[in-house]
DNA sequence: GCCGTTTTCGGCCCGACTGTTTTCAGTCG
């Protein structure tokens, strides 16, 4: 059982307990544990094998949950969940996914009307049964029917690029509204999470009406779901939902801090405030009735004795403790990026020539790049065999000689084949300036085989970096990461001087933030690459930088944030 | 179910909006 599977078990226990009306803090404990385990950089199985007591040392895991993890690891199941499933029919928990439905309503529909799944729910709404139930009414029944229509997409997360585009568009529109002063995206978009559930935008205004009217009539908005004095919720075209909050200027910082989250980070800041005899809400920091801070986020953090914490770090992953000790990182910036080391040309599946890619890179101020077309295994992209690759490199040599302000490396994105050999012979790889080793095929192979393949690449003396390591895909058709022992892979990479890529494409962002942090802790240089297939492909670098910031990386941790001469000394061929 | 520099018991973040109610419960973030 891996962490994801254990996490799902606790998540389901939480849902079922909640429907049963269990103590909400108990429910929260299961949900917190599910999240903690799902996010944990090390496998519970490994921790347990090393020392069973380690589980209890994880914050949010006590004696009871540690014992349950042990049971799951040993028997692949949890008797408590088996029992809960007998008590709560399988389709009932699905009702929780409907917007506006929580545990109380779900339990009422199940117990009072005998509704067991979403189909029965739909029928009961249409027949008027739901509207007649105590505590329900016409509007609730209608809202449930609407919610049912959106249930598939409501739980769906969208990639950061799409979410940021929508959020920026609305922010830009609100900025033009007379009487609106400050406008900012908040929520997980501001924290630069790799996928986004819904959007938050915050404004300060003399009067909320104009801002809300602007949003309500914006061409991207499909429907206004709720509107009050200070808060409006809308559904955008494409299915995402957005909250707009209007606050007074003196509360802007407190509101921005509050609505940026994460929820877990806010619980920690509020708890800290309470310990200091203060109270934080979205209007400010209060001692008794008196507001002592709130105009800026800096003020809010200062009031609880902390320096400003960048949004990307606000996940309750130790940032509060680091802030307290004054050891917060000075996060990488987009402007730090000096080079880009993963891109394609018309030689394989890119749309621009070598020269066009070099020119586009220069326009963006890059000082060095690597041209890394596909190797032959990727036949659908017209991947290069040894002969074509050597000819391609010759062409690069001729063209790069024309430029004095940018270094151009002759690279290759070489597949690690299903049988754990490299797609190109060693003597060819030896001639490259830069070799990215990647898994494209056979991602569903068993863990042992995936590990064998990765070890082949890591031990190969010519491999510079592992590209999009896990092969996961976050797009409309998500693809799970390949099975691997990440800790072991990173350790081997560290031992052999192989770098790790953060692929900046918004559907990849692979390796992820926690993985990048783990690599950094092992002293592995991180490379952030766009994997550009066109001249516009360079523009996704920002998303790679966001992911690096979430990992807490500084410029010194990122190989291609270094000056060319420094970067050159990091190249494996120089060792 | 977790947790502890006032605590091993008694807390656990906090406010807005909606709908169904006549003063509030449920849901959400």
Task: Flag whether pLDDT at A525 surpasses 90.
Answer: yes
What confidence tier does A58 reach under pLDDT thresholds 50, 70, 90? confident
| Cα separation of the two ends of chain A | 40
Domain of residue A310, residue span: 251-325
Distance of C1' in B1 from CA in A17, Å: 12
Number of domains in chain A: 5
Are A108 and A70 in the same domain? no
| Per-residue pLDDT at A328 | 94
Tens digits of per-residue pLDDT, A474-513?
Answer: 866 678 889 899 999 999 999 999 999 999 999 999 999 9
What confidence tier does A13 reach under pLDDT thresholds 50, 70, 90? very high
The whole-model pTM stands at 0.83
Distance of C1' in B14 from CA in A165, Å: 31
Name the residue closest to B13, CA to C1'. Answer: A267
Q: In angstroms, how far is CA A132 from the centroid of its own chain?
A: 43
Compute the average pLDDT of residues A447-452.
94
What confidence tier does A52 reach under pLDDT thresholds 50, 70, 90? confident
Are A119 and A76 in the same domain? no
Compute the average pLDDT of residues A534-550.
95
CATH number of residue A364's parent domain: 3.20.20.140
| Per-residue pLDDT at A473 | 87
d(CA A85, CA A328) in angstroms, rounded, equals 44
Are A309 and A344 in the same domain? no
Are A488 and A538 in the same domain? yes
| Per-residue pLDDT at A476 | 64
Q: Which of A140-154, A181-195, A232-246 has the lowest mean pLDDT?
A: A140-154
Compute the average pLDDT of residues A183-210.
92
Cβ proximity of A199 and A185 under 8 Å: yes
Compute the average pLDDT of residues A264-270.
88
Are A457 and A342 in the same domain? yes
Higher pLDDT, A346 or A275: A346
| Per-residue pLDDT at A572 | 65
What confidence tier does A225 reach under pLDDT thresholds 50, 70, 90? confident
Instruction: Kindly report the bases of strand B lying within 7 A of a protein C-beta atom.
Output: 1-3, 11-21, 25-29
Give the residue from A325, A349, A369 where a domain finishes. A325
A208, closest nucleotide (Cα–C1')? B16
3-class secondary structure, A61: coil
| Per-residue pLDDT at A154 | 58
| Per-residue pLDDT at A575 | 44
Task: Flag whether pLDDT at A82 surpasses 70.
Answer: yes
Are A169 and A132 in the same domain? no
Are A264 and A126 in the same domain? no
The 10 Å Cβ neighbour count of residue A180 is 20
Query: What share of chain A in percent tops pLDDT 90?
Result: 62
What confidence tier does A197 reach under pLDDT thresholds 50, 70, 90? confident
| Per-residue pLDDT at A211 | 93
Are A57 and A99 in the same domain? no
Name the residue closest to B28, CA to C1'. Answer: A100
Are A98 and A209 in the same domain? no
Distance of C1' in B10 from CA in A291, Å: 29
Distance of C1' in B7 from CA in A494, Å: 46
Q: A351, A366, A348: which is closest to A403 by C-alpha?
A: A366
Tens digits of per-residue pLDDT, A102-157?
Answer: 889 999 999 888 999 888 998 999 888 898 888 888 888 888 888 887 776 656 77
Are A350 and A397 in the same domain? yes
Give the residue from A246, A278, A297 where a domain finishes. A246
Task: Flag whether pLDDT at A465 surpasses 70.
Answer: yes
d(CA A114, CA A109) in angstroms, rounded, equals 7
Exposed / middle / buried, residue A282 (Cβ in 10 Å: 0-12, 13-18, 19+): middle
A131, closest nucleotide (Cα–C1')? B20
| Per-residue pLDDT at A574 | 45
Query: What share of chain A in percent tops pLDDT 70?
Result: 98
CATH number of residue A234's parent domain: 3.30.460.10
What confidence tier does A318 reach under pLDDT thresholds 50, 70, 90? confident
Tens digits of per-residue pLDDT, A99-114?
Answer: 888 889 999 999 888 9
3-class secondary structure, A63: helix
Compute the average pLDDT of residues A552-568.
97
Give the residue from A282, A305, A325 where a domain finishes. A325
CATH number of residue A75's parent domain: 1.10.150.110
| Per-residue pLDDT at A98 | 86
The 10 Å Cβ neighbour count of residue A78 is 18
Are A431 and A454 in the same domain? yes
Distance of C1' in B27 from CA in A57, Å: 34
A13, closest nucleotide (Cα–C1')? B1
* H/E segment holding residue A559: none
| Per-residue pLDDT at A352 | 93
In DSSP terms, A196 is beta-bridged to A158
CATH number of residue A106's parent domain: 1.10.150.20
Are A95 and A179 in the same domain? no
Task: Flag whether pLDDT at A567 surpasses 70.
Answer: yes
Cβ proximity of A443 and A473 under 8 Å: no
């Amino acid at each position: 059982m891996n962490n994801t599977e254990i996490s799902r078990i606790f998540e389901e226990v939480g849902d079922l307990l909640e429907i049963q009306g269990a103590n909400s803090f108990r429910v929260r404990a299961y949900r917190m544990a599910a999240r903690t385990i799902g996010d944990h950089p090390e496998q519970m199985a490994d921790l347990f094998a090393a020392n069973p007591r380690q589980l209890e040392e994880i914050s949010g895991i006590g004696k009871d949950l540690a014992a349950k993890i042990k049971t799951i690891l040993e028997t692949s199941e949890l008797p408590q969940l088996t029992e809960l499933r007998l008590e709560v029919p399988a389709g009932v928990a699905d009702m929780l996914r409907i917007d506006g439905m929580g545990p109380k309503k779900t339990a009422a529909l199940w117990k009072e009307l005998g509704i067991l799944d979403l189909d029965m729910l739909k029928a009961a709404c249409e027949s008027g049964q739901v509207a007649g139930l105590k505590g329900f009414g016409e509007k609730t029944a209608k809202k449930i029917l609407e919610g049912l229509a959106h249930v598939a997409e409501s739980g769906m997360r969208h990639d950061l690029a799409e979410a940021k585009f929508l959020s920026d568009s609305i922010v830009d529109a609100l900025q033009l509204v007379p009487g609106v002063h400050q406008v900012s995206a908040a929520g997980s978009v501001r924290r630069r999470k790799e996928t986004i559930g819904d959007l938050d935008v915050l404004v300060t205004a003399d009067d909320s009406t104009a801002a809300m009217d602007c949003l309500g009539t914006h061409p991207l908005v499909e429907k206004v779901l709720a509107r009050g004095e200070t808060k409006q919720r809308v559904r955008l075209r494409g299915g995402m939902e957005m909250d707009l909050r209007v606050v007074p200027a003196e509360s802007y910082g407190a509101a921005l801090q509050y609505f940026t989250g994460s929820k877990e980070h806010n619980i920690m800041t509020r708890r800290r405030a309470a310990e200091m005899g203060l109270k934080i809400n979205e209007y400010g920091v209060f001692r008794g009735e008196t507001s002592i801070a709130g105009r800026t986020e800096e003020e809010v953090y200062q009031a609880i004795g902390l320096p400003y914490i960048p949004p990307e770090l606000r996940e309750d992953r130790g940032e509060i403790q680091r802030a307290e000790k004054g050891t917060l990182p000075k996060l990488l910036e987009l402007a730090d990026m000096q080079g880009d080391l993963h891109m394609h040309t018309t030689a394989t599946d890119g749309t621009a020539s070598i020269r066009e890619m070099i020119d586009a890179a220069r326009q963006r101020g890059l000082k060095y790049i690597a041209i890394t077309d596909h190797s032959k295994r990727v036949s659908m992209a017209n991947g290069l065999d040894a002969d074509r690759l050597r000819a391609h490199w010759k062409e690069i040599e001729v063209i790069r000689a024309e430029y004095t302000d940018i270094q151009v490396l002759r690279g290759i994105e070489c597949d690690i084949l299903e049988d754990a050999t490299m797609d190109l012979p060693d003597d060819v790889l030896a001639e490259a300036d830069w070799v990215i080793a990647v898994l494209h095929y056979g991602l569903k192979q068993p863990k042992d085989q995936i590990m064998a393949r990765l070890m082949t690449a890591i031990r190969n003396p010519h491999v510079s970096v592992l590209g999009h390591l896990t092969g996961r895909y976050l797009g409309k058709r998500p693809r799970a990461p390949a099975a691997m022992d990440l800790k072991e892979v990173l350790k081997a990479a560290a031992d052999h001087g192989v770098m790790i890529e953060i692929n900046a494409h918004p559907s990849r962002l692979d390796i992820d933030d926690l993985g990048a942090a783990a690599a950094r802790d092992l002293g592995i240089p991180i490379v952030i690459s766009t994997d550009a297939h066109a001249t516009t492909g360079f523009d996704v670098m920002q998303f790679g930088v966001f992911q690096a910031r979430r990992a807490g990386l500084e410029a010194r941790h990122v190989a291609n944030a270094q000056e060319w001469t420094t970067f050159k000394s990091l190249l494996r061929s120089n060792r």
